[in-house]
Structure 1
Amino acid sequence: MTGLGPGYGHEPLFGVILTPDAHRPERVVDLALHAERVGLDVVSVSDHPYQPGFLDAWTLLSWIAARTRRVNVLPNVANLLLRPPAGTARAAASLDALSGGRVALGLGAGGHGEAIHSEGGPRLTVGERVDAFAEAVRVVRALATPGPPATLDGRYHRLREAVPGPPHPRPIGLWIGAVGPRMLRLVGRLGDGWLPSATRVPPHALDAGHARIDEAARAAGRDPSAIRRLYNIPAPPGVQAGTGPWADQLTRIAVRHGISGFLLFSDERATISRFGEEVAPRVRKALA
């Protein structure tokens, strides 16, 4: 138990994670529009810049934001070893301005090291990757947040009196995909949200992750409840037979493990419909 109530006090969010299939781009966009129609809050796409069978995540999200009116969009998660953080911050702020404040940033330190290196990315150890990511998050925060010019003297990233901007409607949430202890502590120090996947962090392991995040947040003088906890989830087997057990399972995870956002891996129209029209309302009602 988190001890802070369901979702650390945050209102629940529900969304979808779409495969950015370059062979069927019109279908990806249609699924995004469908997710909005069935009441979901977030449309996200995975970010693997080295995968030629995938559409570029930022280009796709910009197109989706232009075609939708309500849903938030985010990369899940942006690969900061192949996306320069200053450019990522400017792109996010620009899309937030164009979309009327509907952008969040899922951020990751970058897996698939050899694929990243094949695209010109640095070859780093795991520890170096975390250090580089921490600096990159600071760059993104500095340039996507209104304030004075920013300077950062890092080993991997540097700023020299860089002026934040462009102006945009609201603060952009930095939701960090983290699994290991150092990354979890980084979430506590620097992140606005934790975004693990159930395939790597099963429900029984969530509380240990929360504990590391909360401890690091308090040590940094932050309130742990300010950090939203989200969860990337697959659809359970047999979902077509009924959504009641699925909704009950997500309610238990929210109550017992502090989760306030569920993002569903699915490219199936019917499954997205059930999630948006049946599961999400039932969970919201139970948590209310």
Structure 2
Amino acid sequence: MAGVRFGALLEPAADRPQDVVGWAELMDQLGYDVVTLSDHPYWPERLDTVALLSAMVARTQRITVMPNLFNLPLRPPAMIARTAATLDILSGGRFELGLGTGAQQMWESIVAEGGPQRTAGQSIEALEEATHIIRALWTSKEDVQFQGTHYRLGGARPGPVPVHPIGIWFGAYQPRLLRLVGAIGDGWIPSSPFLPPEALPGANKIIDDAAEAAGQSPQSIRRGYNIEGEFGTGPGFLQGAPAVWAQQLAELVLAGQIDTFFLYRVQSPDFLRRFAAEVAPAVRELVSTG
């Protein structure tokens, strides 16, 4: 799998308001490919993701910026479409869109903020409807009509038009949502603490089979991975020295499982610097010679 990319999933803590923007600038300078932000609008200890993405776009030059992942229950799809298009225009085509159904363990907080109460199945239905709405508002030449179970549009005017075809990435673990990734998604992002490397082949096969059934090329779907680890001497996934990290990540790329890695729960800019200097180049070298 060609085109391995590296990024990070940053946490926008309210008590450190400049951290994520400064770290995004640093990642831009260090040669990372993409910087992402988590989105938990119901936590007052977090800054707003949309506002921070705007600041990150303004203060970077080349790196792709994206949410990892927008909380769909608290963000109406028409507004997501216009926000995403605006960020893409402002960045010159450097925005990608990550969408999440809303974690089931967070529904009490979502409802407390005025969001809907949905079952797991209803959340997947809503995600599918929202994706169709968002794409229609980006591309339609006519006013958008949509009558779904969870969302309705009664002739919404399309636009603005993004600078480039924005990819829509889903977070998914269960088979039904994995099938939706294959059927209509542009990318997939699980997290290593919740989906370990040994589970990737099974999940990827579900995505691939669904893509083929929908007439979509499995190779067109990007495969991301939020990865958590530390540099050390321990056994296990991402617990060793940088060279061990590089070998483990390259194996996932060469096996066709993952093409984009996001560092998860980053604790310091020094960690970003060390990964950029000692891991990312080694992974690319192993992939190019593998």
TM-score (norm 1): 0.93
Q: Partners of 1:50 and 1:28 in 2: how far apart?
A: 19
| 2:253 match: secondary structure | helix
2:10 aligned to 11, 18, 27, which one? 18
Following superposition, the deviation at residue 162 of structure 1 comes to 2.9
Q: Partners of 1:255 and 1:130 in 2: how far apart?
A: 31
**What is the CA deviation profile of residues 90-133 of structure 1, one whole-angstrom value per residue up to 9, with x for unaligned ones?**
00000100111110011100011111011001111111111111
Tell me which residue corresponds to 1:270.
270
Tell me which residue corresponds to 1:170.
164
Following superposition, the deviation at residue 63 of structure 1 comes to 0.3
Q: Partners of 1:164 and 1:276 in 2: how far apart?
A: 40
Are the counterparts in 1 of residues 231 and 240 from structure 2 also a CA contact under 8 Å? no
Tell me which residue corresponds to 1:98.
90
Following superposition, the deviation at residue 240 of structure 1 comes to 10
Following superposition, the deviation at residue 142 of structure 1 comes to 1.6
Following superposition, the deviation at residue 163 of structure 1 comes to 3.5
Q: Partners of 2:13 and 2:54 in 1: how far apart?
A: 15
Residues 32/214 of structure 1: CA separation in 2 closer, same or farther (3 Å cut): same
Q: Kindly report structure 1 stretches of 4+ aligned residues shifted beyond 4 Å.
A: none
Are the counterparts in 1 of residues 230 and 240 from structure 2 also a CA contact under 8 Å? no
Deviates more, 1:248-257 or 1:180-189: 248-257
Is 1:56 aligned with 2:48?
Answer: yes
**What is the CA deviation profile of residues 39-63 of structure 1, one whole-angstrom value per residue up to 9, with x for unaligned ones?**
1011111100000010101100110
Are the counterparts in 2 of residues 251 and 287 from structure 1 also a CA contact under 8 Å? yes
Residue identity matched to 2:131: V
Query: What RMSD over aligned residues (CA atoms) do the two structures have, in Å?
Result: 1.6
Runs (5+) with no aligned partner, structure 1: 1-5
> How many residue pairs were aligned?
280
Q: Partners of 1:118 and 1:249 in 2: how far apart?
A: 42
2:213 aligned to 216, 219, 232, which one? 219
Paired residues for 1:68-147 under 5 Å: 68-111=60-103, 112-145=106-139, 147=141
Residues 241/222 of structure 1: CA separation in 2 closer, same or farther (3 Å cut): closer
**What is the CA deviation profile of residues 6-40 of structure 1, one whole-angstrom value per residue up to 9, with x for unaligned ones?**
3xxx4111001111011111122211111111110
Paired residues for 1:192-231 under 5 Å: 192-231=186-225
Is 1:235 aligned with 2:234?
Answer: no
Are the counterparts in 1 of residues 231 and 241 from structure 2 also a CA contact under 8 Å? no
Q: Partners of 1:144 and 1:182 in 2: how far apart?
A: 26
Are the counterparts in 2 of residues 46 and 57 from structure 1 also a CA contact under 8 Å? yes
| 2:149 match: secondary structure | coil
Residues 94/12 of structure 1: CA separation in 2 closer, same or farther (3 Å cut): same
Q: Partners of 1:168 and 1:141 in 2: how far apart?
A: 10
TM-score (norm 2): 0.92
Deviates more, 1:194-203 or 1:254-263: 254-263
Q: Partners of 2:267 and 2:34 in 1: how far apart?
A: 14
Following superposition, the deviation at residue 237 of structure 1 comes to 4.3
Q: What is the percentage of aligned positions where both structures have the same residue? A: 47
Runs (5+) with no aligned partner, structure 2: 233-237
Are the counterparts in 1 of residues 140 and 158 from structure 2 also a CA contact under 8 Å? yes
| 1:263 match: secondary structure | strand
Deviates more, 1:185-194 or 1:149-158: 149-158
1:161 aligned to 131, 147, 155, which one? 155
